[in-house]
Amino acid sequence: MATEHRTTADDEGGEESGLPLGVSVAAAAVAAAVLLPVLWLVKTGLDVGFDEAVALLTRPTTLEVFLNSTILVALTTAACVLIGVPLAYLTVRTDLPFRRFWTIVVSLPLVIPSYVGAFAFVSAFGPQGGFQRLLAPIGIERIPEIYGLEGSVLILTLYTYPYVYITARAALKSMDTTLIDAARTLEHDRWETFKRVTIPQIRPAVAAGALLSGLYVLADFGTPSIMRYDVFTRVIFVEFGTFGRDTATLLSLQLVAVTLFILWLESRVRGEERTTAGGRSRTAVSLGLWRYPAMGFAALVAGLALVVPIAILVSWLGTASATVNQSLAFEWGYALNSVTVAAAAAAVAVVAGLPVAYLSARHDGLLPTAFERISYVGYAVPGVVLGLALVFFGSQYATPIYQTLYLLVFAYVIRFLPQSVGSLRASFLSVDPALPEAARTLGQTSAGAFRYVTLPLVAPGLFGGAALVFLTTMKELPATLLLRPSGFTTLVTHIWTAYESGYFGQAAIPALVLLFVSGLSMLVILRQEGYDVK
């Protein structure tokens, strides 16, 4: 049954005094590591004169682009929820045909760098793009404008809804469906049941996913720039381009402040967090004839997000391959490099995320909440700013690991930690604390109870988090460029090299390999999950 356990925990533990020591120390260490780059941000940002800072922040253009950013974040986040949650429901709770296939396919847009998607969409659907030329003979002179707010929302939604999809999916997987059966016996119809039983249970997970989407959009520069929509990050970009690093850093700190505000907002949306006895799921909802439109929906989303950019890139490949120089020759080693660092980042991020997520799900109070919220800070800072912060720490205090894979993986973990924390935390919330307690009374140590009872129950969240970190590391660019060892090429740096020099066709092969390799890895991750969950 759904019961409110947080109050119980408080009654027993009396706020923070009851925090488990080992877990708390581990969580504190993780939080400290995340805060390390922020120290540099604060130090550098403070070098800006106060007057200059105020003048810059209160200029009409700054306020205007700030408003633009806000609108973009709000609309995109809403659209992500509207696409991600139904897809998650369809692939977890219904008898949708080929569910595993759809699960992988609708997760994959996450690995496509959104600027590549934006570029492809502009080429396909721009005012004089390929699509328009296709329609011109049948008399269609103009197609709806792709540039601007609408286009930006479309593109960013297509490439960030998987955050919501993956976290919502994990929550639905570990949800106790007996509640739904109970509701159904009480003669609620399906919609009513979804509203009153399912939504409250998956709300923390959906909020976590929406948060990841929203913060991604907030810190993105490339996509709005191609879509010709002015956002706040442009101000930062211009400052960097003119070597005004102090100012750029100060502005990034403002992004952190906005992030803190969004985090606060999200903690309101999370609302009452319930815990349930998880893991029992039996009946799948039968879609009947609805399975066709359902598959159509999944195919449409994946088709737009995956097929359009790949088709555009491949169409250019044919015209570009003959004359290209040897620097752009593709090597399979790039794929191996990508998978290696992404897997390492995913593993470390999950391990580092465990104590933070566990503490914040199980204990109220200032410290657990602070540790969890702090884990988002690295994610809120634009990648290039985080990269430069680590350039500072690496070159000044950690020379032996500077421009090695160790520092690179560290950077990924700091950037993407909230993805594992968010996913894990939502799963911990869905585990009834009575279960590990029962194991304790049966003679297990607390570590044993965690290993044999809690961990299997949170496995969907664990693998969901690992999948998120893995997929986003596969496409991470700015920190990779700053911190990679000399000559270390990944699939995405290779795509960037081709793209940035205008050899667009040459981006097709690494992009296809990126999708293929990520798809395979997803299959492996999902299979692991299958073993651990009944």
* Minimum gap (Å) between residue 172 Cβ and other proteins: 39
Q: Is the dihedral of CA 459, 465, 467, 469 positive or negative?
A: negative
* Minimum gap (Å) between residue 400 Cβ and other proteins: 12
Nearest Cα neighbor of 429 from 357, 374, 370, 371 is 357
The region of 87-95, 385-393, 422-430, 467-475 touching other proteins under the rule CB under 8 A is: 385-393
Contacting other proteins (CB under 8 A), which of 89, 102, 334, 504?
Answer: 504
* Minimum gap (Å) between residue 60 Cβ and other proteins: 7
Cα-Cα-Cα-Cα dihedral of 176, 177, 180, 184, to 10°?
A: -150
* Minimum gap (Å) between residue 489 Cβ and other proteins: 8
Annotate each residue in 307-346 with x if it binds other proteins (CB under 8 A) or - if it does not, as one string. Answer: -----x--xx--xx-xxxxxxx------------------
Q: With H, G, I as helix, E, B as strand and everything else as coil, classify residue 12.
A: helix
What is the Cα–Cα distance from 213 to 167, expressed in whole angstroms? 11
The region of 93-101, 264-272, 413-421, 498-506 touching other proteins under the rule CB under 8 A is: 498-506
* Minimum gap (Å) between residue 250 Cβ and other proteins: 15
* Minimum gap (Å) between residue 287 Cβ and other proteins: 40
Nearer to other proteins by Cβ, of 463 and 503: the residue is 503
351 binds other proteins (CB under 8 A): no
* 485 Rama sector, left if φ>0, alpha if ψ -120 to 50, beta otherwise: beta
Residues 6+ away with beta carbon under 8 Å from 488? 337, 405
Whether the CB-CB separation of 45 and 250 falls below 8 Å is answered with yes
What is the Cα–Cα distance from 152 to 69, expressed in whole angstroms? 11
C-alpha atoms less than 13 angstroms from C-alpha of 35 in its C-beta half-sphere: 11
Residue 367: enclosing H or E segment and its boundaries? helix 366-374
128 binds other proteins (CB under 8 A): yes
The region of 17-25, 100-108, 160-168, 396-404 touching other proteins under the rule CB under 8 A is: 396-404
Instruction: Take residue 363 and report the two structure tokens written for it.
Output: 């204990």
* Minimum gap (Å) between residue 70 Cβ and other proteins: 19
Contacting other proteins (CB under 8 A), which of 225, 267, 404, 446?
Answer: 225
Calculate ∠ Cα 59-37-108, nearest 5°.
85
129 binds other proteins (CB under 8 A): yes
φ, ψ of residue 3 in degrees (nearest 5): -130, 155
Site for other proteins in 403-442 (CB under 8 A): 403
Nearer to other proteins by Cβ, of 427 and 493: the residue is 493
3-state DSSP of 18-42: HCCHHHHHHHHHHHHHHHHHHHHHH
Calculate ∠ Cα 157-464-210, nearest 5°.
35
Nearer to other proteins by Cβ, of 306 and 312: the residue is 312
Binders of other proteins: how many residues, by CB under 8 A? 62
* Minimum gap (Å) between residue 48 Cβ and other proteins: 13
Annotate each residue in 161-200 with x if it binds other proteins (CB under 8 A) or - if it does not, as one string. Answer: ----------------------------------------
Q: Is the dihedral of CA 391, 397, 403, 407 positive or negative?
A: negative
**Residues forming the site for other proteins (CB under 8 A):** 59-61, 123, 126-130, 133, 225-226, 228, 230, 234-235, 237-245, 312, 315-316, 319-320, 322-328, 384, 388, 391-392, 395-396, 399, 402-403, 478, 481-482, 484, 486-487, 493, 497-498, 500-506
